Amino acid sequence: MARSLIGGLIARGHVASSIVVADPAASQLELLKTTYGVHTAPTNAEAAQRGDVVILAVKPQELHNVARDIANTVRDKLLISVAAGIRASDIERWSGGASVVRGMPNRPALQGCGMTGLFAPAKVSAEHRKIAEDILGAVGATLWLTEEHQMDAVTAMSGSGPAYFFLLVEMMEDAGVTLGLPRDIARKLAVETAYGSGLMARQGPETPAILREQVTSKGGTTEAALKHLETHNVRKLFQQAIAAACERSAQLAKELGKD
């Protein structure tokens, strides 16, 4: 995710030399320096000290230690966390009272077409909110949430969402092979169908429900497939799956938010 943000920021006109990156892997730092022309730092504390805005693009399990390590250098700075689950209040406490904005981007950010949910506590200034929105907007669309608990639903829907989408494409491909198509043809049919359908849902004024109805002719092939799915309670199953992801996000917040 950090690499996606670096690429997105530079593509939007940010000067590469204004970005300082820290990573425990020397090979990763060298790759980022060579690829993008950014500056690197040997420690998180040094990188945080050299920046006005600090982006915490680490695994949730590592966030506590990272925030503690940089606490002395970020009290008056903006922290943007893209780690799933960890509450803003916990990050603020660990970092010594820094201004914290949480962001939940998703995998398509790698292609510059991600979706990021944002949340900021009341103490975060309008200026800092705008900065966070501009930074995460470098890799796709953004939206603000009014309640932090909504981040769990965002994590379940769009954070984990690409996996559901890829599973659907994978299943369509496998079904095509079962019906006698060569795998390369089945994959292209599934991928391009998903891509085109996604564009229609994104660009058109119609809701997904209306678009589905428009494709479904009475007594036709699509209706036969959809009836089979509905008979097997696919809607309820999918709702339960996303609810499970949401619940797990909330559990992680409790587990990893402890000192």
Nearest to 118 by CA among 98, 95, 135: 135
Domain with 183 in it: what CATH number?
A: 1.10.3730.10
Whole-number Å distance between alpha carbons of 6 and 45: 19
Same domain, 176 and 125: no
Count of domains forming the chain: 2
> Which of the four pLDDT bands, split at 50, 70 and 90, describes residue 140?
very high
Burial 199-221 (b: 16+ CB within 10 A, else e): eeeeeeeeeeeeeeeeebeeeee
**pLDDT surpasses 80 at 102:** yes
Handedness of CA 7, 10, 11, 12 (dihedral sign): positive
**pLDDT surpasses 80 at 259:** no
> Which of the four pLDDT bands, split at 50, 70 and 90, describes residue 19?
very high
Does residue 161 sit in helix, strand or coil? Answer: helix
Specify the pairing of strand 140-144 against strand 114-119. Answer: parallel
Whole-number Å distance between alpha carbons of 104 and 162: 13
Whole-number Å distance between alpha carbons of 159 and 162: 7
> Which of the four pLDDT bands, split at 50, 70 and 90, describes residue 192?
very high
| Per-residue model confidence (pLDDT) at position 81 | 95
Same domain, 21 and 47: yes
Same domain, 137 and 27: yes
**Final residue of a structural domain among 147, 173, 204:** 147
Which domain, by its residues, includes 235? 161-250
